[in-house]
Structure 1
Amino acid sequence: MAVRKAVAVVSAGLLLAGGPVAAAQAAPAASATVSVLHGVPGATVDVYANGQKLLTNFKPGTLTDPLKLPEGEYDLKVTAAGKTAALIQANDVAVPGGANVTVVAHLDASGKPVLTPYVNDTSKLAAGQARITVRHTAAAPAVDVRAGGKPVFTGLTNPKEAKADLPAGTVKADVVLAGTSTVALGPADVDLKEGTNTIVYAWGSAADKNLKLAVQTISGLHGNPSGVPGGTGGQAAQQDLPVWPAVAVAVLMLALLGGGTAAVRTRS
């Protein structure tokens, strides 16, 4: 897979940068598990790390499979697909070893492209429990998320997240405008499987009427799984929404398109 080959090249470059003696003496670097969600409408880009192309023709709505990156510092660059000039560039971006991170390129509340890395909660769950995480990554106002008609996450604004551990099963959820009973999305049945963290992202723009949902599932959170849970990626859900939704901490990459410099935020 081209992405994994690029990661291997980056990893090798980091090792060789210290020379053969340093490489032989250094302890193995811990790796971070990283997924990337492209949530900026209308922008197809290439992503570079330390001068090596990491992602090619990265399209809106795509959630990558988890990648393993050695801990360290990375120089990152985003270009228009097939171009070399940097649209956005960030140097010496720290990648913490052992973390499970999802980096979301999205619009802020005003519609400006920004970068928000989230550290995913991979702590163990009790038997019979599941976790749901809701992340507001759309250019849209604040909302409340309800379960069974009762608010469980209130006043959620971009780029904040909220989460809860619940009994595994199906939850009937809807989204209302913050502080009101005006339904913006739903109701919908959300299937929460035991031992998983279901992460729901709302991305796009309410003003441009191109809001969509992306769903990420991290499994293996019960028992004693070996290593860091990776989760699942692939194509993000492409559900068009009539008004703002959001049924849903550390560092890394990607800043996508739009005028100016993207902000880098770390949520924890």
Structure 2
Amino acid sequence: MTSRSTGAALALCTATALTLTAGAPAWAAVQAEEDEATVTVLHAVPGLTVDVFAGDKELLPDFAPGTLTDPLKLKAGSYDIKIFKNGEGPSGTPAVEKTVSVPAGANATLVAHLTADGRPALDAFVNDTSKVPAGKARLTVRHVAAAPAVDVRADGKVLFEGLTNPDEKKGEVAAGSVSADVVLAGTDTVAVGPADLELAEGGNTIVYAWGSAADKNLALKTQTIEGMHSAPSGVPAGETGQAAAHNQNAQIGALSLGALVALAASVALMRRRDDAG
């Protein structure tokens, strides 16, 4: 092989190595995302501004009632969550303290709220981000209020019966606008609402009934998670979990195969040039 051919081969090998390693950062990013969880925090304790800590690290200062944070990315694992009255942490006595497990890849909401009998509590809910049938929306209702069991209605029709604190109920409904209210279980006595809800196709609309019935400050808070559409033909649109990992492997495999094909073609070309010389 001539020195020119040798130089070309070395240059090609270098280019091939760079091509193969170019996929590594993307793969590492996918791995990092799989080790994280998406967490949203809702303050549903009326009349109490708080500071939220994870261990001794302050996460949310001056957290006001009725506030829902934007989604946060957290490493998967267990967190010692402490909620203090504003300005009393981290050395004081927390109003609520609980160890919360955040699984990798999960979409979760942490809710500081009142129990049915009015005591402060902290609960973690895993949000359902599975595919939603075409033309449908997912509606999730969570009872986090100091109140008895309730029924949830949409346009006057009962959708969920006998919901108690701190439970949730969910289902797929037709996408579109509805008027929702919350009534005392088995009655027509309205406890909260009505409120107009826009149930987006392929989304999960999560409604929280929070506050205190005794203090007459019951309210609704809405959280929306989008992007769970299903294609009409039955092939899911978008990728999650194993499908995304398979596609990533396929992309890296195609990248490697393309580099090897280019290398083989170049070697064959150099051999023909050497033979011709």
**TM-score of the aligned structures, taking structure 2 as reference length:** 0.66
Structure 2 CA distance, aligned partners of 1:89 and 1:173? 31
What is the CA deviation profile of residues 200-219 of structure 1, one whole-angstrom value per residue up to 9, with x for unaligned ones? 11111011112221110001
Q: Deviations over 1:98-139 (max 9, x none)?
A: 111111111111011111111001001122111111111111
How far, CA to CA, are the matches of 1:35 and 1:150 in structure 2?
30
1:73 and 2:73 correspond: no
Report the identity percentage: 62
State which drifts further: 89-98 or 31-40. Answer: 89-98
* Alignment partner, residue 87 of structure 2: 82
**Unaligned stretches of 5+ residues in structure 1:** 1-26, 228-268
Q: How many residues align?
A: 201
- Looking at CA atoms only, which structure, 1 or 2, has the larger radius of gyration? 2
Q: Give the alignment partner of residue 157 of structure 1, picking from 153, 158, 164.
A: 164
Is the contact made by 2:96 and 2:121 (CA closer than 8 Å) also made in structure 1?
no
Conserved? CA contact 1:39–1:107, under 8 Å = yes
Q: Relative to 1, partners in 2 of residues 1:123 and 1:175: Cα closer, same or farther, differing over 3 Å?
A: same
User: What do the CA deviations read for 1:129-162 (whole angstroms, capped 9, x no partner)?
Assistant: 1111111111112121223433221111111111
Aligned counterpart, 2:48? 43
- Distance in 2, matches of 1:141 and 1:207, equals 11
Query: Which residue of the partner structure matches residue 65 of structure 2?
Result: 60
- CA distance in 2 between counterparts of 1:33 and 1:206 reads 31
**Structure 2 runs not aligned, ≥5 long:** 1-30, 230-236, 242-277
Q: Considering fraction of residues, name the structure with more helix.
A: 2
**Equivalent residue letter for 2:45:** V
Residues 46, 69 of structure 1: CA spacing in aligned structure 2 closer, same or farther, 3 A cutoff?
Answer: same
Please tell me whether the aligned partners of residues 78 and 86 of structure 1 are also in contact (alpha carbons under 8 angstroms). no
Output the amino acid matched with 2:120.
P
1:115, 1:207 → 2: CA distance?
20
Secondary structure, in 3 states, of the residue corresponding to 1:62? coil
**C-alpha distance 91-118 of structure 1, shift in aligned 2 (>3 A):** closer
Who is 2:238 aligned against?
A: 224
C-alpha RMSD of the superposition: 2.2
1:111 aligns with one of 105, 112, 118 = 118
